[in-house]
Chain A
Amino acid sequence: MRALIVDDSRFIRTHLRSMLTEQGMECEEASDGLQGLDLLRTSADFDLALLDWNMPAMTGLEMLRQMRAEGFTNVKVLMVTTEADNDFILSALEAGADEYLMKPFEAAALADKLAMLGLVEA
């Protein structure tokens, strides 16, 4: 299983990476939507993309729309948000996100979401 972590916070990327590695996933990182798209296009075998919302250059929502438009439909998308981004959850689900995860989260919460997406065994 391969995961793409897209977040402008190095802290969040590091944190997510260690949790996902625990779950047996392999990770790549990007610091904004544009970089995320580049990685998607150049190595097509991602199973999961974890997208932050508020990033420079291209937001998570914009990236989500773009990747769905470009046909990356079999990549599950987990939106990583804060409670301040309530409106965003709605727009993201509209745009084709599969799940969302509210910061801060425990490793167990992430594991639950991965299980719900069928990426790891519950």
Chain B
Amino acid sequence: MDELTREFLIESQEGLDRMERCLTDLESRPEDTALLAEIFRSVHTIKGTTGFLGFKRLEKLAHAGENLLGLLRDGKLTAEQHIITGLLSLLDGLRSILRTVESDGGEGEGNDAALIARLEELQKVEVQKADSRQDKLRQTAATPDEADDASALTSAKVQNPLLMMLAKEKAEAQKSAAIVPAAQSASIATIEAEKTVSMAGTASSSAAESTLRVDVALLNQMMNLVGELVLTRNQVLQATASDPKMTLLSRRLDMVTADLRESVMKARMQPVSNIFSKMPRIVRDISQLLGRKVRLEMDGQETELDKSLLEAIKDPLTHAVRNSLDHGIEPPAIRAAAGKNPEGTLKLRAAQEGSHVLIEVTDDGAGIAADKVRAKAIERGLITAEAAAMLPERELLNLIFLPGFSTAAAITSVSGRGVGMDVVKTNVEKIGGKVEIESRVGKGTTLRLRIPLTLAIIPALIVRSLEQSFAVPQGALSELVHLTAAQAAKDIEWMDDAPLYRLRGQLLPLIFLDRMLTAGKGGRELEGRDIFVAVLDADGRRYGLIIDGLADPEEIVVKPLSAVLKDIGLYSGATVLGNGDLALILDPGAIAARAGVTARAEEDAAAIDADALEAEESHENEFLLVEVAGRRAAVKLGDVLRIEQVPVSRIEYAGLRPVLHFDGQLLPVEDAGGLLAAAHDEMQVIIVVCRDASRQVGVAVSNVLDVAAGSDLFEAGTSAPSAGVTLLKDRVTNIVYLGSVAELPMIDQTTEPWHTAVENA
């Protein structure tokens, strides 16, 4: 494509964007001459330029539009609803041809006859209407130019006979037109307004202005080069750290690089108005379609964001707006009935907050009822009823982000389409952003998107695994936990073969990075080493990534991956570290998906966790009812960690005390009923693993009967070791007193697990 055609395309698209903004404004101010002039000019310019390039189809269509717009501009026609709709079709028509030109250089085969006929129809109908009030129009609508002409012509020095004739005709025609001073001042107002419009619009560059049009490819290249420079700087800083002579120089290099990086990043920034400006049209179309009355307010349009990120949030934002109109703002009648303004308000707000840009979509609609979300999520099988019952209201709302939440019943032509809020969330998280929702029933809903300012250079934590460095984006990292070998052995729990870690009461699924990368199955052994758990949040999944070690955090430059590495699917890019090493950038979302950590598993974990907490906190009186050698006994449910069935052969003896190797520890086992002594090696025995203060003990039981709520504790009236008695299922039951389970004797300290158990006791 030659330079001239490209110039034409860019300019025409800018013009149409301006036209679109003006058209939506025109709905509320149909008499605004400045708007009409601006719209006319956009189409006029396209028509004027297409001729040079021989684009006949565009020229014809633009010509038809220009005629209609001419009537509007000259006040011979009022911009009523159906005309605006017609003009929007014109806009779409022109855009689609421009797209064809852009993709294959020609105008394509399409036929615009119907659209042109419609534009002509709009003129005709209106001309008839206009005729009836022509006198009125004559009085009020004499354009400044005509008025001036009329006055100028009275003293015309006309040299050319043709000109003379034309002049006479014109003077005749305008004899009756009053020269109204108001028209003059109106024209000044118009000019002022136009100036503002053109300022607000995309900067129209010229030699006299201080802006310059730069190819995006060139900007991208500059960004890459700055990236290389940042890498080189990191290496120079490391290499010269010990040389005092170089310190000053490298510090200077550091500063200049940082400034340069910031400048280039700024050059890639574009105001969010670039996407906000599409919204009035969308809001208009959808609210008409759905019969809503909606006022759109936009704030902070000057907030800037990296161009690629802006592109990336366009669809999620559009979807969010659609959703607000479809499911948020109620039809006018319902609003009125609820005592609200029949006209709903949709607010789009953008603001920079530190290294993030915050974009909010707020409606004053019906809000989201947490119960309905709960019911729907259960109905769709996204969460169990029990788990849902445990979730606090705020978290319930987050269920709408689960894949599969909005389907079937929710599909309308507006926001259904099989995509739901999960797509919004996924898209925003893909670029390192976050989505939050807040809603009050009857008051409205706010959706908040947090977008990082830039993607190309990100802060990352460098971690070590398999003797290699990997970069973990800081955006996904929520905390780091260091576990000594002993703590790891104790605190990591296993659910089948899946390791879990209880972090401040929350069950966190764990992923071994080394096993993931080597595709190794791995057993339960932690090989007695210190580990780090990087707690990551990605795509609504929260998990702990087990790594061997940590290096410094660094600002890394994201480089695209070769196809081979991309196919592995666990990496989002590569980078060169300050020490010159190559490091792959881990993709936290992909790792979670590969390991089978689902957003749902997290909900389940939360639910399990809630269960545990509830048991501990409010159900102090729940007991595990067991049978020990024909007698009933009870263990406080809050103390029960696990119920294990083990062969008797696994029970060992330390002195006379039975002990059980369990999770790398030795548990002292309480055998009040003499079950173990009576058993032979092939039998299975049930051990209830309990927590007693800071240690764990096992209780050998014959059977687990039930879980039951007990009454208030009675004072223990017997001398048997008991924590008291309680009334369970109408029977007085002894509570096993864990404190009576004797400490293990301090013998045989040679085995590590033994040692550990003592240490932890």
Binding site for B on A (CB under 8 A): 8-15, 28-32, 35, 38-39, 54-58, 61, 82, 84, 87-88, 90-91, 93-95, 103-104
Say if the beta carbon of B241 comes within 8 Å of chain A. Answer: no
Chain B residues with CB under 8 A of A14: 3-4, 7
Say if the beta carbon of B247 comes within 8 Å of chain A. Answer: no
Chain B residues with CB under 8 A of A8: 41, 45, 198, 204
Segment from B46-54, B330-338, B423-431 that makes contact with A = B46-54
Interface size class of B (residues with CB under 8 A): 35 or more
Say if the beta carbon of B300 comes within 8 Å of chain A. Answer: no
Taking a contact as CB atoms under 8 Å apart, the answer to whether A35 and B48 are in contact is no
What are 20 A-B interface contacts by the 8 Å CB criterion? A8-B41, A8-B204, A9-B11, A9-B49, A10-B204, A11-B49, A12-B48, A14-B3, A28-B207, A29-B208, A31-B204, A35-B208, A56-B41, A57-B194, A61-B145, A82-B47, A84-B66, A90-B166, A94-B152, A103-B48
Say if the beta carbon of B615 comes within 8 Å of chain A. Answer: no
A54/B167 contact (C-beta < 8 A), A94-B156, A103-B52 known: no
Residue of B nearest to A62 (CB): B191
Say if the beta carbon of B206 comes within 8 Å of chain A. Answer: yes
Q: Using A10-B7, A94-B152 as known contacts, list a sample of 11 further A-B pairs with CB atoms less than 8 Å apart, ordered by residue number in A.
A: A8-B41, A9-B49, A11-B7, A11-B11, A35-B208, A56-B38, A56-B41, A57-B195, A84-B44, A90-B167, A94-B156
Interface centre among A9, A39, A87, A90 (most CB of B within 10 A): A9
Interface residues of B in 48-72 (CB under 8 A from A): 48-52, 66, 70
Chain A residues with CB under 8 A of B563: none
Interface centre among A10, A15, A28 (most CB of B within 10 A): A10
Taking a contact as CB atoms under 8 Å apart, the answer to whether A31 and B206 are in contact is yes
A82/B44 contact (C-beta < 8 A), A30-B207, A56-B195, A90-B166 known: yes
Q: How far is the CA of A11 from the CA of B207 in the complex (A)?
A: 13
Taking a contact as CB atoms under 8 Å apart, the answer to whether A29 and B152 are in contact is no
Which among A10, A31, A39, A54 is the interface contact of B44 at CB below 8 angstroms? A54
Which among A29, A58, A84, A91 is the interface contact of B206 at CB below 8 angstroms? A29
Chain B residues with CB under 8 A of A29: 206-208
Which among A38, A56, A91 is the interface contact of B208 at CB below 8 angstroms? A38
Taking a contact as CB atoms under 8 Å apart, the answer to whether B208 and A11 are in contact is no
Taking a contact as CB atoms under 8 Å apart, the answer to whether B51 and A103 are in contact is yes
Closest 4 CB pairs of A and B: A104-B51, A31-B206, A56-B198, A104-B52
Min CB–CB distance A19 → chain B (angstroms): 10
Chain A residues with CB under 8 A of B158: 94
Say if the beta carbon of B394 comes within 8 Å of chain A. Answer: no
Taking a contact as CB atoms under 8 Å apart, the answer to whether A95 and B49 are in contact is no
A35/B206 contact (C-beta < 8 A), A14-B4, A56-B198, A84-B44 known: yes
Chain A residues with CB under 8 A of B28: none
Taking a contact as CB atoms under 8 Å apart, the answer to whether A10 and B11 are in contact is yes
A31/B145 contact (C-beta < 8 A), A84-B44, A90-B163, A103-B48 known: no
Min CB–CB distance B63 → chain A (angstroms): 8
Taking a contact as CB atoms under 8 Å apart, the answer to whether B194 and A54 are in contact is no
Interface residues of B in 1-16 (CB under 8 A from A): 3-4, 7-8, 10-11
Chain B residues with CB under 8 A of A104: 48-52
Can you list, as one digit per residue, whether each of B99-122 has a CB less than 8 Å from chain A (1) or not (0)? 000000000000000000000000
Can you list, as one digit per residue, whether each of B152-191 has a CB less than 8 Å from chain A (1) or not (0)? 1100101010010011001000000000000000000001
Say if the beta carbon of B197 comes within 8 Å of chain A. Answer: yes
Taking a contact as CB atoms under 8 Å apart, the answer to whether B198 and A57 are in contact is yes
A12/B41 contact (C-beta < 8 A), A56-B194, A90-B167, A94-B149 known: no
Say if the beta carbon of B209 comes within 8 Å of chain A. Answer: yes
Min CB–CB distance B25 → chain A (angstroms): 16
Q: How far is the CA of A10 from the CA of B206 in the complex (A)?
A: 7
Q: How far is the CA of A30 from the CA of B3 in the complex (A)?
A: 20
Chain B residues with CB under 8 A of A57: 191, 194-195, 198
